[in-house]
């Protein structure tokens, strides 16, 4: 497949953009897209989003940045999703991208047989699966107003979608579900470019949480070692790889691509 021209006016949504990989993706995408682009960054923490906005504006003055703070899985998520996907002057854009990055590790302090609270389980999948489907639907409805626009959907995934990590059943289950959901989307809409990108073991707050809370000793030891040695991947390095994948446009539609592939 021919390379994709990212240097066009692009409407772009990045969830979980207040820190870590989401922030790195927002910055690198903003640098890659063309004049007149709008980068919508969303997360629960407004302070972190404001910092991301400043960093984008420092390197990509050609792009406008819109901050939308809120819980994409919360009580008023429908209204929030509409604000995130509100497109001014749809005719001015040539490309629409959504990066589904927001997510959480979940309760990794318990083995699968110890997960007994239905509210904890339901709330976890509401954030990590259900809200992704709903926001994605809003994105498709909104971008239908952009005449002849290319559309790209990126699901930020993990090796855990493919391999079981002991005591991480909630996380592995959500990532596996999302991978299949986006494979189905790619089959249903072959004109839309769909990628599930696994950014690798990143040096982020989530990795620190894993080091502190993981029940399984082997999995915990891996993250403790990574934390002590600071050997995790820099989110910026992985974000650059993801943006290059989008530009090269050689990935199989709907496929799972890892940083190390």
Tell me, letter by letter, the H, E, C secondary structure of 164-192.
CCCCCHHHHHHHHHHHHHHHHHHHHCCCC
Q: What does the pLDDT look like over 95-138, one tens digit per residue? A: 999 999 999 999 999 999 999 999 999 999 999 999 999 999 99
Position 162 scores a pLDDT of 99
Whole-number percent of the chain with pLDDT over 90 = 97
Short-list 231, 228, 212, 229, CA closest to 220: 212
Write the DSSP symbol of residue 76: T
Per-residue pLDDT of 138-147, as tens digits, reads 999 999 999 9
pLDDT of residue 2 exceeding 90 = no
Cα distances (angstroms) measured from residue 110 to each of 53, 106, 107, 192: 37, 10, 7, 39
Write the DSSP symbol of residue 129.
Answer: I
Token readout for 209 is 């949480």
- pTM, to two decimals: 0.97
Distance (Å, rounded) from C-alpha 195 to C-alpha 59?
A: 26
How far apart, in whole angstroms, are the C-alpha atoms of residue 193 and residue 35? 22
| pLDDT tens profile 154-208 | 999 999 999 999 999 999 999 999 999 999 999 999 999 999 999 999 999 999 9
Residue pLDDT, tens place only, 238-260: 999 999 999 999 999 999 999 99
pLDDT, tens only, 28-39: 999 999 999 999
More confident site: 76 or 189? 189
**Confidence (pLDDT) at 76:** 83
Question: Domains in the chain, start-ordered, CATH in brackets?
Answer: 10-202+235-258 (3.40.50.720)
At residue 60, does pLDDT exceed 90?
yes
Residue 58: Cβ within 10 Å count: 9
């Amino acid at each position: 497949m021919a390379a994709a021209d990212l240097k066009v006016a692009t409407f772009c949504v990045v969830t979980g953009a207040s820190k870590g990989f989401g922030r790195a993706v927002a910055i690198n995408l903003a640098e890659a897209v063309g004049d007149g682009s709008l980068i919508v960054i969303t997360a629960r923490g407004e302070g972190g989003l404001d910092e991301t906005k400043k960093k984008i504006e420092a390197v990509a003055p050609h792009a406008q940045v819109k901050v939308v703070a809120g819980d994409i899985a919360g009580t008023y998520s429908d209204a929030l999703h509409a604000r995130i996907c509100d497109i001014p002057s749809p005719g001015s854009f040539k490309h629409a991208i959504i990066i589904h990055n927001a997510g959480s590790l979940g309760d990794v302090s318990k083995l699968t047989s110890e997960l007994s609270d239905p509210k904890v389980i339901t709330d976890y999948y509401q954030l990590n699966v259900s809200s992704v489907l709903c926001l994605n639907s809003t994105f498709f409805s909104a971008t239908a107003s952009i005449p002849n626009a290319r559309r790209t959907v990126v699901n930020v995934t993990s090796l855990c979608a493919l391999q079981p990590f002991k005591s991480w059943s909630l996380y592995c289950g959500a990532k596996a579900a999302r991978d299949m959901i986006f494979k189905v989307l790619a089959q249903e809409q072959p004109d839309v470019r769909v990628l599930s990108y696994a950014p690798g073991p990143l040096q982020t707050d989530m990795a620190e949480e894993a080091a502190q809370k993981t029940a399984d000793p082997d999995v915990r030891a891996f993250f403790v070692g990574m934390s002590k040695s600071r050997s995790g991947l820099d989110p910026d390095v992985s974000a650059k790889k993801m943006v290059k994948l989008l530009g090269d446009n050689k990935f199989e539609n709907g496929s799972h691509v890892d940083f190390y592939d």
